[in-house]
């Protein structure tokens, strides 16, 4: 299926992202000071760049694990049906857990994932998202930490894709379609 032609306009620079991650890491270190090990759970695939940069800024003992949930496929719109495609390898019962998400849009994915993980009885379960689109929220969910609040735009870069493209951009960019199709 051919893709509609589009261009990407830079929205949040790589420098701004790096500075914000330093601030977020400082807050997270404060929240989890004294933990024997923080399990940092990245939601695949979009969070992989964010999680890598974030854990390098955490001066804490960390374990990294991944969970894959999907509600988008190759579309620009959420299906609202959240599926767990890959579960954690490790145990989180009695452990401190930080779930790392790329973007909170409708809120369905992060709400579903936190409910799913809370049934495993972690000591503390916190969430962080690089981006938040509150205008699109359909469920009452707010991450504990947010990197940037953005308007209702389709974005790519810094791990976030459009049909598996543009994850490697070092910045967050707004997708602008250049044809007249819907």
Which CATH number fits the domain that encloses residue 75? 3.40.50.2020
Catalytic residues: 105
Query: Is residue 98 in a domain?
Result: yes
Residues of the domain holding 114 = 14-30+37-152
Sign of CA dihedral 112, 115, 120, 126: positive
For tokens 């940092």, what's the residue?
40
Query: Is residue 174 in a domain?
Result: no
Q: What phi, psi does 177 have (nearest 5°)?
A: -75, 140
Task: Please report how many Cα atoms fall inside a 13 Å half-sphere around the Cα of residue 93, on the Cβ side.
Answer: 3
Looking at residue 181, what is its pLDDT?
A: 59
Is 0.75 topped by the overall pTM?
A: yes
For the chain, which residues score pLDDT lower than 70?
1-2, 71-80, 180-182
Domain count, the chain: 1
Whole-Å CA distances, 70 to 45, 83, 113, 166, 178 = 9, 5, 10, 18, 27
Query: Is residue 107 in a domain?
Result: yes
Task: Please report how many Cα atoms fall inside a 13 Å half-sphere around the Cα of residue 133, on the Cβ side.
Answer: 19
Query: Is residue 175 in a domain?
Result: no
pLDDT in tens, 5-15: 899 999 999 99
């Amino acid at each position: 299926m051919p893709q509609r032609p589009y261009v990407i306009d830079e929205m949040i620079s790589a420098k701004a992202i790096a500075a914000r991650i330093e601030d977020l890491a400082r807050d997270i270190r404060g929240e989890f000071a004294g933990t024997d090990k923080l399990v940092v759970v990245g939601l695949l695939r979009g969070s992989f760049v964010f999680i890598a940069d974030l854990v390098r800024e955490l001066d804490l003992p960390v374990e990294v694990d991944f969970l894959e949930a999907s509600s988008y496929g190759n579309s620009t719109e959420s299906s609202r049906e959240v599926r767990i495609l890959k579960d954690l390898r490790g145990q989180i019962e009695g452990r401190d857990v930080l779930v790392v998400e790329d973007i909170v849009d409708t809120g369905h994915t992060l709400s579903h994932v936190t409910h799913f993980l809370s049934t495993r009885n972690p000591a503390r379960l916190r969430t962080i998202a690089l981006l938040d689109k509150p205008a699109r929220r359909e469920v009452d969910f707010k991450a504990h930490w947010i990197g940037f609040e953005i308007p209702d735009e389709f974005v790519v870069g810094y791990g976030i894709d459009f049909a598996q493209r543009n994850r490697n951009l070092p910045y967050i960019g707004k997708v602008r379609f250049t044809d007249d199709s819907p």
